[in-house]
Amino acid sequence: MANEIVLIAFYFVILLYSIIIHEVAHGYVALRLGDLTAKYAGRLNLNPIKHIDPWGSIAIPFLMLFLTGFRFAFGWAKPVPYNPYNLTNQKWGPALVAAGGPGSNIAIALIAALLGRVITLPSTLKVDIIASVKMADWSGLAEVISGSFGAIFFVILAMMIFWNVILAFFNLIPIPPLDGSKLLFSVLPIKTETMILLEQFGFMLLLFVIFFLAVPLGNFLNLMLNLFFSITL
């Protein structure tokens, strides 16, 4: 039981820092493009206190963990502020800032996958660990990693891949307030009035997608997960 609690703690901490890195990346891209808003707000660091949203970072993830038997959670940090009018590139700047968050998650997932590939474990064991991480099978994980440092390290990497792939590709859905909508608005000739309307009702549309299109959304995220996990084998 103690090993399972440790695994759940790692699961939550990796989720928390994956979200924080996502937000900090937005601020760093904005900084490189000339906007100092995030820097002056003290948000360009990994101190959780600076980024934690009481509801999105603590209450809702813990509630989801509790309701799903500590098998799944989702959350968010306080958005890192930036002023698009300060960006040196007014046309593509907002899109680059938006891409910074998912881009950081994809980079972390790719690095973790490559590190996982060089760990010398039987492929069958890696497959079992990946399946257990995806299903949040804590008892199964605790059993397969017992006494193996390599297996423990691989579990941590698998959790990093899991959360960062989920965060990256979920946020790339082109629905406000997700990052994908900002990328879409930068590419398509959408009128300002239409953008404002979409942003007003974006959260309701997002809830509709989550609840009523859960199967295709889940299939898409699972496809991305399998793509990154295949690198580790």
Quickly state the pLDDT bin for 89 (edges 50, 70, 90).
Answer: confident
CA distance 120 to 77: 35
Mean pLDDT of 126-133: 94
Provide the domain limits for residue 103.
2-231
CA neighbor of 35 nearest in space, from 77, 110, 94: 94
Of 12-16, 66-70, 104-108, 126-130, minimum mean pLDDT range: 66-70
Residue-level pLDDT at 169: 94
Number of domains observed in the structure of the chain: 1
With 80 as the cut, is the pLDDT of residue 50 above it? yes
Buried b (16+ CB within 10 A) or exposed e, 15-50: bbbbbbbbbbbbbbbbbebebebbeeeebbeeeeeb
pTM, to two decimals: 0.88
B/e letters for 55-66, b = 16+ CB within 10 Å, e = fewer, are: ebbeebbeeebe
Question: Following DSSP, what letter does each residue of 140-181 receive, concatenated?
Answer: HHHHHTTT-HHHHHHHHHHHHHHHHHHHHHHHTSSSTTSHHH
Average pLDDT over residues 153-178: 92
pLDDT for the residue numbered 179: 87
| Maximum separation of any 2 CA atoms in the chain, in Å | 60
pLDDT, greater one: 228 or 41 = 228
